[in-house]
């Protein structure tokens, strides 16, 4: 059947806080349910997403945004004030009272409210009709008139006063006939002025709008003056270009700047005293991205002193303070994130110290899981910002009390694996996993189905490279039903994963696979079983007039069906008794998963388990269940795995005993040619649940004497061994017939041991000279 397909779940969290002065880190509470008998919880794992944004800095504090808390005004002693009602459009208005203790908010359509954080006072400025808001610099509101096509573009300054009055000033030095910029960079400024852009004809220009003098000072640059290219400190204007940085003194911006080289792809962040502060991408932290915490902050002294690292990890843009220091977000690592200040010390050097805690968002890592034969496989976020997932496996105990083994890393999923394009994983039940090719990878080969061996890393080995496939219809044991790509015919091929060859082909829609039985659709309201080894078709199973089959799952003797249409409902069909048990009538059904003799589903936030073994449904709840989160049912052990509201993975016994140990499939050759005693007879048996131990006894058919005993311990779904034609004393056995008996003991202690027996004809191939010969004597 199609089962164990990795379920993708979006991660969404909305956390509301009402905070005032003196913020401390808070976390949203989770509803913890009482554990059910035998339940084991794998503790939640998290990745941290540091998204501290710095917007302005004044004499007493600074404005920042934290993804978990919203907008905060933070004093330099680390005390936070939450701005509950503050919600500016930060993409359009990044200068929110720049360079001061003022926090400005544009109340649409035409009112700017200035909040003085040091005193608690507020003032408002009304923007005249025809003016466009640009920024608030200290207590001065800047607007423009004109637009992209006018030639009367100019700036206006609205100053606020202690008596509440507002006066308007004209800006001197503005050339006649200028137009607005075609590209508008982020306004960059402080309480004394800001860098602005405009056009003369078709040529872009930049200038400095000096608020104190009320005039425009042209700058010698025509390029876009975006953040990251230009930095304005209280003492200097820094302009990066062509591997160098031009340093203008703000005492005279018309003077020729000092230019110093800045090699190595460094990004200028600021300047403290005579030291440049730069950011350099650290490849060990992740791929280059200007928005991710993959940057190292360094101090580059202009007097030739060695460069030194200030912060091992940072992201985003720092913020200069009015007194010549520099605020930087980052830390030694993600769990030590905060806001630090870079400041000058005696001797011309700089130092850094942390002044405020940051509040990175905690994101639980698991985005999908499968659970088969006690083998838990998960896709988990490796970090929060790239959304890149890695594959992990844990072995869960199957011989009694549930135990959790260590998490084994199996490498990254494809780079395309984000919230919309991850591979689907289908467990075969013998430790292997088929990776669905739909939307997988970026090349034709990557998009085709691949097979992962039990401990093989992604992406695995391509299955049947002679064909192009669209998707995986079903998997089980050594078989995978692969649907052909569009345009190549409406067919599904069942491929033997051990040989890579197709054993059965059908044009019918494949619904499920269990052992060697393939369930195919027979019209809209029925299915039929097909033995993939013989092609023999069994009796139709009909779900009733008006059923439009939506989903079918198969485990052992049971079929879980879901119908839509005029006969909507859900139920279980027993293929042994040939009885149909309807669990839900009408469309009030939920997506459910089939176990061995039970159905698991979610009802009103609870995990519901319905026992269907005797034809009468008996239900019980098995703890709280978080809807729309990854979950799976292990049909081989009867344990349910689901990601809970506490972000831990809950392993919950169903309470329904699993059927006795049975053989699902086998490949046991009846003859073996052993070449120079190095060849092998390699039988395999696929089992319906884990076995605690197994023994294979080989006897001479003639004498009945035991010649070889092979054995093993715990195995999950597959007994596989080899015999090289030698006895327990390593002597070659003569050609002839041998009998074998396999005994496997169930790991859960439920039911009798499984026994199988048969014969194998042994022949030796020896080399006499340079020619191989089949001989009836032992090879030396």
- Which phi and psi (to 5°) does residue 336 adopt? -125, 30
> 221-225 long-range CB contacts below 8 Å, 24 or more apart?
224/183, 224/185, 224/197, 225/185, 225/188, 225/195, 225/196, 225/197
Q: Is the confidence at residue 166, as pLDDT, over 90?
A: yes
User: Per-residue pLDDT averaged across 18-28, rounded?
Assistant: 30
Q: Give the pLDDT of residue 556.
A: 97
Least confident of 157-171, 222-236, 480-494, 748-762: 222-236
| Contact assessment for residue 594 and residue 554, using Cβ atoms and an 8 Å cutoff | yes
263 vs 474, which has greater pLDDT? 474
What pLDDT is attached to residue 31?
Answer: 35
**What is the per-residue pLDDT for 410?**
93
Contacts of 162 (CB under 8 A, 6+ apart): none
Per DSSP (E only), the strands in 489-585 are 492-496, 502-506, 510-514, 517-521, 526-531, 541-542, 548-555, 558-564, 569-574, 579-585
Q: Are 257 and 239 in contact (CB under 8 A)?
A: yes
pLDDT of residue 26: 29
Determine what percent of the chain is predicted with pLDDT higher than 90: 69
Which comes out higher in pLDDT, residue 647 or 85? 647
Q: Which residue has the higher pLDDT, 382 or 513?
A: 513
Per-residue pLDDT tens digits for 281-335: 999 998 888 889 999 999 999 988 899 999 999 998 899 999 999 999 999 999 9
Count of all residues that appear for the chain in the document: 780
Look at residue 656 in the predicted model and tell me its pLDDT. 96
Residue-wise pLDDT for 620-650, tens only, equals 999 999 989 999 999 999 999 999 999 999 9
Which of 14-23, 439-448, 665-674 has the weakest average pLDDT? 14-23
Please give the pLDDT value at position 311. Answer: 97
pTM over 0.75? The answer is yes
64-68, 85-89, 443-447: least confident range: 85-89
Give the model confidence (pLDDT) of 647-703 as tens digits. 999 999 999 999 999 999 999 999 999 876 567 899 999 999 999 999 999 999 999
- Residue-level pLDDT at 228: 60
Residues 6+ apart with CB under 8 A from 625: 602, 605, 606, 607, 631, 642, 644
Residue 5: what pLDDT? 39
Q: Give the side-chain half-sphere CA count within 13 A for 138.
A: 17
CB atoms within 10 A of CB 667: 14
pLDDT of 21 over the 90 cut: no
Query: For position 185, what pLDDT does the model report?
Result: 62
In this predicted structure, the answer to whether residue 616 has a pLDDT above a threshold of 60 is yes
Q: How far apart are CA 186 and CA 56, in angstroms?
A: 13
Counting Cα atoms < 13 Å in the Cβ hemisphere of 80 gives: 22
Overall average pLDDT of the 137-141 stretch: 94
Lowest pLDDT segment from 78-92, 150-164, 377-391, 474-488: 78-92
Contact 542, 556 (CB under 8 A): no
Reported as a pLDDT band with limits 50, 70 and 90, residue 466 is confident
Beta bridge partners of 653: 639
pLDDT bin (cut points 50, 70, 90) of residue 85 is low
């Amino acid at each position: 059947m199609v089962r164990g397909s990795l379920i993708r779940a979006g991660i969404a969290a909305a956390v509301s806080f009402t905070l005032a002065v003196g913020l401390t880190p808070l976390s949203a509470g989770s509803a913890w349910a009482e554990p059910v008998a035998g339940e084991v919880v794998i503790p939640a794992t998290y990745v941290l997403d540091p998204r501290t944004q710095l917007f302005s800095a004044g004499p007493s504090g600074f404005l920042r945004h934290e993804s978990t808390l919203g907008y905060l005004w933070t004093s330099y002693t680390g005390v936070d004030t939450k701005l509950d009602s503050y919600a500016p459009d930060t993409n359009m208005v990044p200068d929110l009272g720049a360079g001061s203790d003022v926090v400005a908010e544009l109340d649409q359509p035409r009112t700017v409210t200035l909040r003085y954080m040091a005193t608690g006072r507020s003032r408002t400025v009304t923007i005249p009709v025809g003016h466009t808001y640009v920024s608030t610099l200290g207590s001065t509101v800047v607007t423009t008139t004109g637009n992209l096509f006018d030639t009367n573009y100019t700036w206006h300054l609205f100053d606020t006063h202690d008596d509440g009055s507002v006066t308007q000033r004209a800006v001197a030095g503005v050339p006649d006939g200028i137009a607005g910029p075609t590209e508008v960079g982020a306004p960059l400024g402080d309480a004394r002025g800001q860098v602005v852009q405009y056009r003369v004809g078709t040529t872009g220009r930049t200038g400095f709008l000096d608020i104190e003098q009320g005039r425009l000072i042209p700058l010698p640059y025509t390029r876009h003056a975006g953040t990251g290219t230009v930095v304005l400190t209280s003492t200097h204007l820094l302009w990066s270009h062509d591997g160098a940085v031009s340093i203008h003194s703000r005492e005279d911006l018309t003077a020729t700047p000092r230019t110093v080289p800045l090699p190595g792809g460094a990004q200028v962040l600021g300047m403290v005293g005579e030291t440049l502060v730069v950011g350099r991408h650290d490849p060990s932290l992740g791929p280059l991205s200007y928005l991710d915490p993959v940057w190292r902050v360094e101090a580059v002294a202009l007097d030739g002193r060695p460069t030194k690292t200030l912060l091992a990890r940072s992201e985003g843009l720092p913020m200069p303070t009015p007194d010549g220091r520099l605020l930087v977000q980052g830390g030694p690592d993600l769990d030590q994130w905060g806001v630090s200040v870079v400041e000058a010390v005696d001797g011309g050097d700089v130092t850094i110290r942390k002044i405020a805690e940051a509040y990175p968002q905690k994101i639980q890592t698991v985005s999908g899981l499968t659970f088969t034969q006690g083998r838990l496989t998960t896709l988990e976020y490796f970090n929060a910002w790239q959304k890149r997932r890695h594959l992990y496996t844990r072995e869960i105990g199957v011989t009694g009390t549930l135990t959790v083994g260590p998490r084994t890393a199996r490498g990254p999923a494809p780079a395309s694996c984000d919230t919309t394009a991850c591979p689907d994983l289908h467990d075969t039940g013998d430790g292997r996993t088929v990776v669905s090719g739909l939307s997988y990878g970026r090349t034709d080969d990557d998009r085709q189905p691949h097979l992962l061996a039990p401990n093989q890393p992604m992406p695995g080995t391509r299955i049947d490279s002679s064909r192009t496939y669209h998707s995986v219809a079903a998997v089980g044991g050594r078989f995978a039903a692969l649907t052909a790509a569009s345009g190549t015919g409406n067919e599904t091929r069942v491929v033997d994963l051990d040989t890579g060859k197709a054993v059965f082909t059908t044009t019918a829609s494949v619904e499920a696979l269990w052992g060697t039985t393939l369930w195919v659709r027979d019209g809209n309201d029925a299915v039929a079983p097909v033995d993939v080894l013989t092609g023999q078709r069994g009796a139709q199973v009909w779900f009733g007039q008006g059923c439009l089959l939506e989903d079918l799952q198969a485990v052992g003797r049971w079929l879980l069906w879901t119908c839509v249409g005029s006969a909507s409902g859900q139920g279980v069909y027993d293929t042994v008794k040939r009885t149909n048990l309807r669990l839900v009538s009408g469309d009030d059904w939920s997506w459910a998963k089939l176990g061995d003799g039970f159905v698991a589903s979610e009802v009103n936030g609870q995990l519901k388990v319905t026992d269907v073994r005797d034809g009468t449904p008996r239900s019980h709840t098995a703890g709280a269940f978080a809807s729309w989160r990854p979950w799976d049912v292990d049909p081989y052990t009867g344990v349910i795995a689901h990601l809970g509201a506490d972000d831990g993975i809950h392993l919950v016994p169903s309470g329904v005993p699993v059927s006795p140990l049975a053989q699902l499939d086998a490949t046991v050759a009846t003859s073996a040619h052993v070449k120079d005693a190095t060849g092998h007879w390699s039988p395999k048996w696929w089992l319906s649940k884990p076995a605690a131990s197994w023994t294979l006894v080989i006897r001479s058919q003639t004498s009945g004497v035991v010649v070889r005993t092979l054995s093993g311990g715990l195995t999950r779904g597959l007994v596989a061994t080899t015999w090289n034609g030698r006895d327990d004393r390593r002597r070659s056995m003569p050609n002839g017939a041998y009998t074998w008996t396999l005994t496997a003991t169930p790991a859960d202690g439920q039911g009798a041991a499984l026994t199988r027996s048969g014969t194998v004809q042994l022949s030796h191939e020896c080399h006499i000279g340079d020619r191989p010969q089949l001989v009836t004597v032992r090879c030396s």
